[in-house]
Amino acid sequence: MQLDRAFDSYLRHVTIERGLSEHTIAAYRRDLTGYLEWLTADGIADSAEITPAIVGRFIAERSSADPAPAATSLARLQSSVRGWHRFLAREGIDDDDPSGRLRPPKAPRRLPKALTIDQVERLLAAPSAEEPIGIRDRALLELLYATGARVSEAVNLDVDDVSHGDVLRLRGKGSKERIVPLGSYARAAVDAYLTRVRPDLAAKGRASARLFLGARGAPLSRQSAWLVIRDAAERAQITSEVSPHTLRHSFATHLLQGGADVRVVQELLGHASVATTQIYTHVSVDTLRDVYATSHPRAR
Supply the residues annotated as catalytic: 150, 173, 245, 248, 271, 280
Query: In whole angstroms, what is the distance from residue 57 CA to residue 102 CA?
Result: 11
Of residues 193, 179, 107, the one with CA closest to residue 148:
179
